[in-house]
Amino acid sequence: MNRIRFLPGILIILVVLLLGLWALIACLGPGTWRFWNWDAQSWEAVGTGLGGTALTIFAFFAFKIQDQQRQLLHQQIDRQMIEQQATTAQELLSEVLAIMSLQEGWMTEGDGWERTQPLSEHKDLPLESGNVGVRLCRVEVRAVCDDARWNAPAHQFFRLIEGRRTWIVRDQVQQDSVSYYGALEGVDRPFRPALLSSRALQGLCAWIARVGNANASKLLSTQGLDMLRPYLVSVMAEDRVEVLDLWLSEEATTFLTECRNWWQ
């Protein structure tokens, strides 16, 4: 393969040598091949021609070496970029999985709760431990990020629960109101009003901002962004952005808008 790559250069060198020889013969006249009869001027002309040819050959090989070094450098940079993008995607995936696994959410649980009943009107609901009837059940963040639409009241703060500030992200369940269509589309599941803690909300918004920055700085490839798509879809809808507005930066909001344009 290397021989084939250098073949054009070798042909160029042969052509240059032949042209130089022809030029010498043309300049020196008939009988040039009888070099033992050359005078000093003839030898000077030969030396000039050979020097020019040597310089041409040297310049060609110098260019080829520089070009090869440039290609190797670009290949190394591309390889490092691919490795960096893969590492970034893995880190972002691990981060969002950890956030989704946090038990920093609460949903209403128990008989007697009306679907349209606002959670904001029942801020004294007891926790699940040792209580019967309607109560608050602690859940993972991923449970609150289901496909039912979020809607928050004007005063989003709920109350302190076990030392955590909690905020209403779904005040009431609206009939046939879906925020996005996920893997569980068509599966019959009960949707409930829901809360998230400050830790969960800040963690989600910080993760969104980091994904947006990585994507803008080319540290996240298209494949890496597709790998994060299921988790971005669960927070990119307009109803999610409205609820998360208190914690989202302007850049993160713009990034989620771009995600909706790509995937909806």
pLDDT digits (tens, 9 = 90+) for 143-190: 999 988 999 999 999 999 999 999 999 999 887 678 777 655 555 667
Mean pLDDT (the chain, rounded): 81
Give the mean model confidence (pLDDT) for residues 15-26.
Answer: 59
Q: Does 136 share its domain with 185?
A: yes
Alpha carbons within 13 angstroms on the beta-carbon side of residue 174 total 13
Q: Does 59 share its domain with 133?
A: no
Residue 70's pLDDT is what?
A: 80
Q: Does 143 share its domain with 225?
A: yes
User: Would the pLDDT of 33 be above 50?
Assistant: no
Q: Is 186 left (phi over 0), alpha (psi -120 to 50) or beta?
A: left
- At which residue do the structure tokens 């591309």 appear? 78
User: Would the pLDDT of 108 be above 50?
Assistant: yes
Q: Does 72 share its domain with 112?
A: no
Higher-pLDDT residue of 237 and 73 is 237
Q: What percent of the chain has pLDDT above 70?
A: 71
Q: Does 78 share its domain with 117?
A: no
Quickly state the pLDDT bin for 34 (edges 50, 70, 90): low
Higher-pLDDT residue of 235 and 46 is 235
C-alpha 188/C-alpha 169 separation (Å) is 21
| 243 part of a folded domain | yes
Q: Does 66 share its domain with 170?
A: no
Which of 58-72, 188-202, 219-233 has the weakest average pLDDT?
Answer: 58-72
User: Would the pLDDT of 2 be above 80?
Assistant: no
| 36 part of a folded domain | no
CB 212, CB 255: distance < 8 Å = yes
Residue 73's pLDDT is what?
A: 75
Q: How many C-beta atoms lie closer than 10 Å to residue 207's C-beta? A: 21
Rounded to the nearest 10 degrees, the angle between the axes of helix 2-28 and helix 40-100 is: 160
Q: Does 74 share its domain with 168?
A: no
Q: Does 201 share its domain with 151?
A: yes
